[in-house]
Structure 1
Amino acid sequence: MRLGARFWRVQLWGWAVYGLTGYLLSLPNIADGDLHGHLRAASWKLLRSVLGLGISVLMTGALSRLWARRPPVWALGLVNLGLLSALSVAWLALLRLAFGHAPVFHPDFGHELFNYAIVLVAWSALFLGYMYRLDLEEERERALRALALATEARWKMLRYQVNPHFLFNALNSIRALVDEEPGRARQMITELADFFRYSLLETQARDVPLGDELRAVRSYLEIQRIRFEERLCVSFDVEPRAEEVRLPGFLIHPLVENAVKHGLDTRKGPVELRIRAAVVGNVLEVEVANTGRWVEPGAPSPVVGTGTGLANVRERLEHAFPGRHRFGLREDDGWVRASLSVELGKREAA
């Protein structure tokens, strides 16, 4: 976490004001306005501020590294208390040695040490408050990026995934079925309407229950099953608890569309598609598997694709669950498996 130039400017101004205030408060104690007394008081306050600035720089480095590890509050407070206690002793001792005050440890040492410790306590409280504010700003920025990506993903889904080619093929299939099998044609129209109703749903929520997306996926797959008949065999294995987990919308659909496309294009016979979702401990695991071969985007192949959908899935996972997710693609025993896992927090599991 970068503190920025503003933080260091405030540091310099703060310690300068601290030194000036200390000098002004010492003026009544300078006998008869003696010049030597003024110079000595000014030198003492200046050196005290410079040493305080140096100590605050040390504390900034130590507390920043500690804060980055997200320790419990009690651990943070304990370490901070020990650090500022030791540095208060060093601050006072260095100041007295610099002005030739001996011994360093005198009867009033405890009282003076308490005053210096209070300054560092106040400084550390302000610093930790500032760090907490930075965390909130970063979290807010991350939330705004995730919301922007979610909105963009809906449009990308319409532009790249639910593209005119898919709609054209679906309408052609419906037209072919209208006279021969009107019942199946009506079913296909219903599934198409349900799918687009979900895709065009405007909501203020950043995420949706997985069950809602899977219902849209079922509509999409039913359309494809009617189109390709025996060539496409679909099965679902979804735990009820997994359906309640909230995820960014249209996170699973690109994986399903990719599986259908690659499965049909890389396999001549029937294609099996399996969708599994389960919560194991506090981790949601989702797998979309299809028979066929995996073809890298851009590789010479009859499969038409740019990898946009998968790249979008990776990007959205990174922003929605930073450091708490895994996503992978692999091919084994004639199956291509796209799997993702997300460590659930209270928000996602609610």
Structure 2
Amino acid sequence: MNTNLLVDEPQPIELLRRLVWPWVAFWLLIFAVDIQQSMWSGELQFWRTLVNTSTSALGATVLIVVQMGRRNRRRNLLGQPLKWFLRAWAWMPLQLVVYVTGIYALRLGIYALAGSRYRHGSWGEVFAYDATAFVEFYVLFSGIIFGIQSYGAWAAERVRSAQQANLARQAQLAQLTQQLQPHFLFNALNTISSLIHSNPDSADRLLTRLATLLRAATDASQRPEQSLADELTLLHAYADIMTQRFSDRVRITWDVDAATSTCPVPTLGLQPLLENCFRHVVERRSAPTHIAIRARHDDTDKLQIEIEDDGETLGLPDTRGVGLGNLEGRLQSLYGTQASLALQLRPGGGLIVRVTLPCAH
């Protein structure tokens, strides 16, 4: 979502532009009805009907433009409809007088220019008829304006809420991402420090791997997702660092379906899972440990990633550690209920960590 875009109700000119054709159609319908009435009366006079209808339409259009220009003054009263309508109708008596006076002045002037006399009933009857029509129109139009403003305010508030939720999610994601750095950094530096004197070339190579990981961790808050192929490149870098330290006690196998390479995953989301294998299994036992890393795309457009160890774990942990807890938070922040993290005991001992993510092809 673009957080710089704020959807609000249309501006007056834009709204009038949208309504111009329905407005024209409305007055054409009024004109057709007036023509029909004049035909029934036996006194069909096309031009007189046209003048009468067009002056009414002109007066109503001017009234609409005035109302649209004043509508922003009542926006803070949308939550109090009674006050909104009372404020909208406050100027109705004055506008009624101006409207009726204006349209009849136009009619008298046009008829005079045409060399004809404008025939009408008593001014009292004329005013009563047009005042009734004006009030009906005014009330109807006020309801339309209230509906448009209410919908615009609702839509704007909905967008604002979504923007705020998105900003909060990004802030949470940045915080969770930054918490990942100390864990792998501590283990990696220990590994490199043990090689500095005995094998400087290996230490230099692993230091390059560490720089790659640190750069990815620093950029993770700005790049919360990346392709599985890029993520596995980082995971290989971490695996190189750790297998160098435990070369005689660990073996890692990779079984990755090529169809999953473009699936998006959290940046450095898999590293904590592999790190847990080293911290809780490899470092605590003298026997060799086999770690299997698998990725496949199932028939439900889901990416399933598994990291399995054959350690001596016989029961599931009661609580999630920092690494798993942070990863769950990131999954929730990025994908909501479409992603999950599950732990499963491996037959014969060990643990399988399964991450399920959306990945539509």
Query: Is 2:198 the partner of 1:176?
Result: yes
Q: Does 1:329 pair with 2:343?
A: yes
SS of corresponding position for 2:343 = strand
Kindly indicate whether the alpha-carbon contact (under 8 Å) linking 2:316 and 2:344 is maintained by their aligned counterparts in 1: no
Asked if the contact 2:178–2:217 (Cα under 8 Å) also holds between the matched residues in 1, the reply is no
**Contact 1:267 / 1:291 at 8 angstroms: preserved in 2?**
no
SS at match of 1:328: strand
Which residue number in structure 2 is paired with residue 313 of structure 1?
A: 327
CA–CA distance in structure 2, aligned partners of residues 120 and 268 of structure 1: 79
Tell me if 1:238 matches 2:259: no
After TM superposition, give the deviation of residue 321 of structure 1 in Å. 1.4
Percent identity over paired residues = 19
SS at match of 1:208: strand
Whose Rg is larger? 2
Using a 3 Å threshold, how does the CA distance of structure 1 residues 209 and 141 change in structure 2: closer, same or farther? farther
Describe the SS at the equivalent of 1:176: coil
Residue matched to 2:189: 167
Is residue 288 of structure 1 aligned with residue 307 of structure 2?
Answer: yes
- CA distance, structure 2, for counterparts of residue 121 and residue 192 of structure 1: 64
The 1:207/1:265 distance shift into structure 2, 3 A limit, reads: same
Secondary structure of 2:247's partner? helix
Deviation at 1:26, TM superposition (A): 4.9
1:220–1:272 distance in 2 versus 1, CA, 3 Å: same
Which letter maps to 1:228?
Answer: F
Between the aligned partners of 1:133 and 1:28, the Cα distance in structure 2 is 31
Aligned residues: 248
Alpha carbons 2:339, 2:358 under 8 Å: kept: yes
Q: Which amino acid aligns with 2:88?
A: T
Does residue 340 of the first structure (1) align with residue 355 of the second (2)? yes
Shift of 1:119: 5.7
Contact 1:174 1:188 in 2 (8 A): no
Q: Secondary structure at the match of 1:322?
A: helix
RMSD: 3.6
Q: Is contact 2:295-2:305 (8 Å) kept?
A: yes
1:149 aligns with 2:165: no
Distance 2:286 2:136 in 1: 83
* Cα separation, 2, equivalents of 1:322 and 1:118: 44
Counterpart CA distance in 1 for 2:158 and 2:279 is 42
Query: 1:318, 1:13 → 2: CA distance?
Result: 38
1:29-48 matches, cutoff 5 A: none
Structure 1 counterpart SS, 2:267: coil
Instruction: Give 1:253 shift.
Output: 1.3
Give the SS at the match of 2:303: strand
Q: Deviations over 1:219-243 (max 9, x none)?
A: 1111111211132111222233423
Q: Offset at 1:267?
A: 4.6
**Partner of 1:103 in structure 2?**
none
Give runs of aligned pairs for residues 144-293 of structure 1, distance below 5 A.
Answer: 144-159=167-182, 161-178=183-200, 182=201, 184-185=202-203, 187-201=205-219, 204-265=222-283, 267-280=285-298, 281-292=300-311, 293=313
**TM-score (norm: length of structure 2):** 0.57
In structure 2, what residue type is equivalent to 1:289? Answer: E
| CA-to-aligned-CA distance 1:270-305 (integer Å, 9 cap, x gap) | 21212222333432222222222166377xxxxxxx
* TM-score (norm: length of structure 1): 0.59
In structure 2, give the amino acid aligned to 1:132.
Answer: A
For residues 322 and 124 of structure 1, what CA distance do their matches in structure 2 show?
Answer: 34
Structure 2 runs not aligned, ≥5 long:
1-74, 98-134
Distance in 2 between residues matched to 1:327 and 1:200, nearest whole Å? 24
Query: Structure 1: which 5+ residue stretches go unaligned?
Result: 1-7, 31-111, 299-305
Contact 2:291–2:307 (8 Å) recurs in 1: yes
Is this contact kept in 1: 2:178–2:218, CA < 8 A? no
CA contact (8 A) 2:177 2:220 kept: no
Q: 1:113 to 1:176 in 2, by over 3 A?
A: farther
Within 5 Å, give how 1:10-49 maps onto structure 2: 10-22=77-89, 24-26=91-93
SS in 1 for 2:268: coil
Q: How far has the Cα of 1:120 moved from its partner?
A: 5.5
Helix, strand or coil at the partner of 2:190: helix
Q: Does residue 139 of the first structure (1) align with residue 162 of the second (2)?
A: yes
What's the CA shift for 1:18?
A: 1.2
- State whether residues 306 and 355 of structure 2, in contact with CA within 8 Å, keep that contact through their aligned partners in structure 1: yes
Amino acid in the other structure paired with 2:305: V
Residues 255 and 338 in structure 1, CA contact (< 8 A), matched pair in contact too = yes
Q: CA deviation at 1:315?
A: 1.2
Deviation (angstroms), 1:9: 6.4
Deviations 1:152-198 (A, max 9, x none): 33432222x124344123321343334xxx5x455434433433343
What letter is aligned with 1:284?
L
Matches within 5 A, 1:68-79: none
Tell me by how many angstroms 1:312 deviates.
Answer: 0.8
